[in-house]
Structure 1
Amino acid sequence: MYLLLGATGVGKTLLLRKIKNFYTKDESEKSMSTIPTVGTNIVKVSVDKKREGSVREVGGAMGPIWFKYYSECHAVMFVIDVANPCQVSSSCIQLLTVLSHKELQQKPFIIIFNRSDIPSQVKPCNIKQLMRLDDVIQAAKQPIKVVDVSARQEENLTEIMQWMITRWEKITC
């Protein structure tokens, strides 16, 4: 199971919907609006055209109890909203807390910088510098991939899907 984490309002639900429909291109969900997830949401996702994996989205407001879901996951997807510079510092603290948890130290991570299509006062590369992301990755015990996406515009979702396929293959071997 993949665990999808991030602060409230960073776009986890929309991202999950886009990933779920990556191969099917289900138009019925395209116009649906999203609301913040209260609790958890488990969705079956086509990892490729033949295989499915489960993604558990945990609401951002549940940050204090995210750790209760760590033992069930095989990989972590952590979403940060780069269009909201005010939220980046709290997301960075959450990320560091999650990365340092004992149960996740050998589990692969993908850090997803969402909303890269929205003009912001701070560019995603500057946010990564402010977060000292290179140092975080170097000090981390787990493998980490970083990707800039726009869930709304469906930009760079292929990178997430490729990461999920790689993780899925390692889980099932």
Structure 2
Amino acid sequence: MGTQPIVNLPTILCLGPRQSGKTHLLSSLQLSGRITNVSHSVQTIGTNIFTIKLLDGAQKQSSTSVATASHCGKQKTTANASFRRSMKNPSVTIMEIGGMMAPMWTNYLNNVSKILYVIDTSNLCQISAAGVLLYSLLADPRLQHTKFLLILTKMDLAYRQMRNEMLLMIHFEKLKKQIRQSIQIVETSSITCSGHQKILEWLSLP
């Protein structure tokens, strides 16, 4: 009685501290960048499910050619729309678990193949706590073969050296020597769409 249910589904998770930008990021990926600086999301209490369309080879080439723009402009939206009309995209389902549920994340870690871990680089007060939560995930025996993508979000609000300072604060170089998992880093902004291409490519990998 009173035992928390164990979720036992092969899945991709999106985790991170509360208000780190998880919902905003996944919404932007799901809507092909149709997020603006006046868009907002409600803090997740529980879980959200997102279906993200991936890019095949032709779409990757097209997205690369237009990704040099500094914002999600009409050119990129038009190009992506034309490809979506001409071919059926593969997709992945991602479960976002709210940061307020961090004590219960362990109930969702069975058969997880990939984890997107989101850190808000504009919130210095959050980074240390984000590092502690990340360590606890990397130490879980069930995730020893799970691939991790460390997503540094809200880069449009951070200053130039924030990336390096954040990695120093969570002792990332030392951490890499101690873990078995594959972990990559990508810098993103849901407003400018920077980094979205790299996230989609990472999700496309086996």
* 8 Å CA contact retained: 1:14, 1:152: no
Structure 1 portions without partners, runs of 5+: none
Higher relative contact order, chain-length normalized (CA < 8 Å, sep 6+): 2
- Does 2:64 correspond to 1:54? no
Aligned with residue 42 of structure 1, among 25, 42, 49: 49
Q: Structure 1 length as normaliser, TM-score?
A: 0.87
| Whole-angstrom CA distance in 1 between matches of 2:163 and 2:145 | 27
Match of 1:123 in 2: 162
* 8 Å CA contact retained: 2:12, 2:115: yes
Q: Which is higher, the Rg of structure 1 or of structure 2? A: 2
Alignment of 1:62-101 (within 5 A): 62-101=101-140
By how many angstroms is 1:21 displaced? 2.1
Offset from partner CA, 1:84-107 (integer Å, 9 cap, x none): 011100000000001111111111
- Does 2:27 correspond to 1:20? no
Instruction: Please identify, of 135-144 and 43-52, the stretch whose mean Cα deviation from structure 2 is larger.
Output: 43-52
By how many angstroms is 1:121 displaced? 9.5
Q: Report SS of the residue matched to 2:138.
A: helix
* 8 Å CA contact retained: 2:121, 2:158: no
Aligned with residue 13 of structure 2, among 3, 22, 33: 3
By how many angstroms is 1:81 displaced? 0.6
Match of 2:61 in 1: none
Q: Structure 2 length as normaliser, TM-score?
A: 0.74
- Does 2:142 correspond to 1:135? no
Match of 1:111 in 2: 150
Offset from partner CA, 1:52-76 (integer Å, 9 cap, x none): 1100000000000111111142100
Instruction: Please identify, of 66-75 and 104-113, the stretch whose mean Cα deviation from structure 2 is larger.
Output: 66-75
* 8 Å CA contact retained: 1:82, 1:88: yes
* 8 Å CA contact retained: 1:4, 1:77: yes
| Whole-angstrom CA distance in 2 between matches of 1:92 and 1:135 | 12
Aligned with residue 196 of structure 2, among 133, 157, 165: 157
* 8 Å CA contact retained: 1:85, 1:122: no
Instruction: Please identify, of 110-119 and 89-98, the stretch whose mean Cα deviation from structure 2 is larger.
Output: 110-119
Structure 2 portions without partners, runs of 5+: 1-10, 57-88
Q: Report SS of the residue matched to 1:68.
A: helix
